[in-house]
Structure 1
Amino acid sequence: MPARPIPPLSRRQFAGAIAGAAALPWLTSCSAPRTSTGMRASAGAAGAKGTPKRKRVALITTIVRKFSHGQHFVDRLLEGYGWHGRHHTSPLDLVSLYVEQFPENDVSRERARRHGVKLFPSIAEALTLGGSQLAVDGVLIIGEHGDYPRDAKGQPLYPRFRFFKDVVRTFERVGRAVPVFQDKHFAMDWREAQETYRDAQRLGFPLMAGSSLPVTWRIPEVEIPLGTPLVESVGVGYGHHGYYDIHTIETAQCMSERRAGGEVGVKSVRALKNEAVWQLLGERESTRRLCFAALNRSQTLAPAPGYTFAEPSIAHLRRVSPFAVAYVFEHHDGFRTTTFHFNGTVEPFHRDTASLNDFTYAGLTQRGDIVSTLMFLPMPPTMCTLASFFSPLVRHIETMMLTGKTAWPIERNYLTTGMTLHAVDSLLGGGATLATPELRIPYQPTPGPHFWNA
């Protein structure tokens, strides 16, 4: 059956979607229930006369240099960012920093001096401002970039889990917990990821995590209605295996979870490389159609000889990206997710030789319709100066810190962390199909939309 593209939202439908988003707990208050451990999970305190205090946050990071993730978050909290045609000043006060590495191009010290933010030598001190009690209303953990060794899988050993555990130990010591945001996926080790999730559940504090891909602009502005009878998803992207895969996986998962019945978890993972990728595309028609639909949304796919707008094909992909990787995820309800990385003409990946530099999605419905979009991620310094795709992520973080409520279930990120780590295991294991009973992680998505509609 030929694909019938799902039409874009009408003005009325789009307005309804925005109204639905406004009904979400973006700027509402929340109570602070006591957890089963007796710890108070707090969303902040009120002033002496009942007027709300500005919420204070600590940021824990590996490094703050130009274009590092740490810099993107620090500067938005301190100096604001453009938001729907205005300059938005954060409602949060960044009062403390823990920075682990200080290279020659460090900017954290300058930011701290200029804005009066305290730099502390330990995570515990950053959370207590050097005292004995928790002195902040929220914590951001940005464990990305910096000079760290790699493990045998090629994954950089960013200290996200170590940072998280230091935060948790401080919560336990003072008997109070506050909302936490963790950039990207939980950890580079599945057991550490499991402990991260269990700690948040045990202590009862809101935990939000993930990539900026689910919340950046979409071209076109597509949000799959909840309950859509999707049967298959494809995400297409690029990047280093072991830590960039999370972006493509979350590109797909933030759409897949909206299918009828919600998410039920992943039962198996299989990785394919190079020739096996072309074989998969040749044999599986639905996956090939979705892959090409996604590629037709790309703005950076390497052109055919002569710089022409040739239709995507297996032959063209083989020519511009002889190095390719695919991950196939089979879900417990029969749903299938496949992600592709077309990394170009050299291995390991290098941005200058990649066959594309963006992330796209395509999904197939039960009746044969295809919905597709580009997750627009203009990377600095070649495509932008400010990496503005971090702005909607910071906006969601601000809302969580104000309300104590997360924009999406943390189970999404628990699942995508597991999908990423097990996919890398399969890749390094020669493409073996791995059963993943531990990824039976069911959840229901929140209505949204969560992405930045311009």
Structure 2
Amino acid sequence: MPVAGVITVYRKNSHADVIIGKILEGWAQDGGLGPDLKLASLYVDQIEKNDLSETLSKKHGFVIAKTIREAITLGTDSPSVAGVLAIGEHGNYPHVPETQQTMYPRRRFFDEIAATFKQCGKVVPVFNDKHLSYSWSDAKHMYDTARELRIPFMAGSSIPVAWRAPSATIPIGSEVTEAIALGYGGLEAYGFHSLESMQCLMERRKGGETGVKSVQSVKGDSIWQAEKDGRWSRALFDAVVEASPTPYNGTRPRPKEMAKDAVFYLIDYRDGTKATIAMGTGFSHDFVCGVSIKGQEKPFAVTYALQEGPPFGHFEHLLRAIEHMVHSGKPAYPVERTLLTTGILDFALHSLADNNRRLETPQLAVEYQPAEWPWAKGSPPTG
């Protein structure tokens, strides 16, 4: 089925390459089998010196569109594709001065896609890579617009569909009391992945998702004060660290002390459940999440495993979910998961910029039920 790509940049190993490249050249990006999708057109917001889009257009025969509308309609009065992949990741974009969030044009992309649908009187499914926006208000606008126009809408990280060790999840209806996730890398770009690693478990707790009532970021001595105040459990944290691989695939010993620049995102859910994203601790270079469940002595802990080099096979499993939506017209899992993680992240970064102030978040009363969608089985390819 034909799809359009609306992207920021197309360079080797960019998100556009590791997602759209699998449509063009197969799951392993080696000319082999791939999804039942065909790239009809591509809108590229920024052409870099190492851009691949022109070369790939000549090789595979897709149109390089000058506008987002043209990418969707191919110059006609109606969408000429069965789905749109909006990938606003990488490229040269400004940052929010206070928080240093990258101002990727994800809302602009979505607004132009939605405007085209409205003008044409027809919608097709849309996938938005990663968080909906750096801004909660923009994300909520995108979500509300999709609901209003009845656009099948999906978004998010590849982490929930990546390989897992152990290959398991928690049962739907589990009485979760607390969750702690370890994250590494940039506070926004990778903090989002860590949030999704946690939320794909948290949404399965008893009653489903009810939303978040407050968010606070802490660092330095405030991390240990938060532990004393009962905001996070040292026993659960230690269990998660113990369950995680040692840094850099076991090539480095685990440090004895937490990194001085670690940041904890403290999250209070509306139903009383608490959660923590522990960023940059130095204890692991993987996304790991642990969950305490009422009546169980040991917490459930899972490591999300990635293929760290080309073709970055975890994106295959994200694309399989996108392929399902394009063919069925139904998202593989709820966009509300990413609406909520987008909001948590935005408030966490604003809390950090505002002297670690605890922020009440009545806006994040996002309620939804989880869906059953498979993650990658086995382990990541090597070599």
Report what 1:400 is aligned to.
325
Q: Return the alpha-carbon distance in structure 1 between the equivalents of residues 253 and 71 of structure 2.
A: 55
Aligned residue in 2 for 1:324? 262
Count of aligned positions = 375
- Structure 2 segments unaligned to the other structure (5+ residues): 379-383
Distance 1:91 1:66 in 2: 23
Distance in 2 between residues matched to 1:438 and 1:409, nearest whole Å? 18
Q: Which residue of 2 aligns with 1:362?
A: 290
**Helix, strand or coil: the match of 1:193?**
helix
2:8 matched residue in structure 1 = 62
> Contact between 1:101 and 1:146, CA under 8 Å: does it hold in 2?
yes
How do 1:230-241 and structure 2 match up within 5 A? 230-241=176-187
Q: Determine the structure 2 residue equivalent to 1:117.
A: 62
Contact 2:181–2:197 (Cα < 8 Å) also in 1: yes
Q: Deviation of residue 283 (structure 1)?
A: 5.8
Matches within 5 A, 1:8-407: 55-82=1-28, 87-152=32-97, 153-281=99-227, 284=230, 287-301=233-247, 316-318=256-258, 321-342=259-280, 356-367=284-295, 368-379=297-308, 384-407=309-332
Q: Distance in 2 between matches of 1:340 and 1:325?
A: 6
CA distance in 1 between counterparts of 2:65 and 2:248 reads 46
SS in 1 for 2:289: strand
Q: TM (normalized to structure 2)? A: 0.93
Q: Whole-Å Cα distance in 2 between the matches of residues 409 and 438 of structure 1?
A: 18
Give the unaligned 5+ runs of structure 1.
1-54, 345-354
1:258 aligned counterpart, secondary structure: coil
User: Letter of the aligned partner of 1:198 in structure 2?
Assistant: D
Contact 2:5–2:41 under 8 Å retained in 1 = yes
Q: Which residue of the partner structure matches residue 452 of structure 1? A: 376
Normalised to the residue count of structure 1, the TM-score between the two structures is: 0.79
Q: Conserved in 1, the CA contact under 8 Å of 2:241 and 2:284? A: no
**Contact 1:226/1:447 (CA < 8 Å) preserved in 2?**
no
Q: Deviations over 1:125-160 (max 9, x none)?
A: 000112222111100000000011111110111111
Alpha-carbon distance in structure 2 between the residues aligned to 1:180 and 1:303: 35
Q: Aligned equivalents of 2:252 and 2:150: distance in 1? A: 55
Percent of residue pairs bearing the same amino acid type: 37
Q: For each residue in 1:406-448, what CA deviation from the matched residue of structure 2 results, as whole angstroms up to 9, or x when unmatched?
A: 1111111111111111111111111111111110111110133
**Do the aligned partners of 2:246 and 2:252 also contact (CA within 8 Å) in 1?**
no
Moved more, 283-292 or 58-67: 283-292
CA distance in 1, matches of 2:189, 2:107: 14
Cα RMSD between the aligned structures?
2.2
- The 1:284–1:385 alpha-carbon spacing in structure 2 relative to 1, beyond 3 Å, is same
CA distance in 2, matches of 1:329, 1:124: 39
Report the alpha carbon displacement of residue 386 of structure 1 after superposing the two structures with TM: 1.4
Task: Tell me, in whole angstroms, the C-alpha distance in 2 between the residues paired with 1:262 and 1:67.
Answer: 36
- Alignment partners' CA distance in 2, 1:87 and 1:96: 21
Change (3 A) 1:116 1:430: same
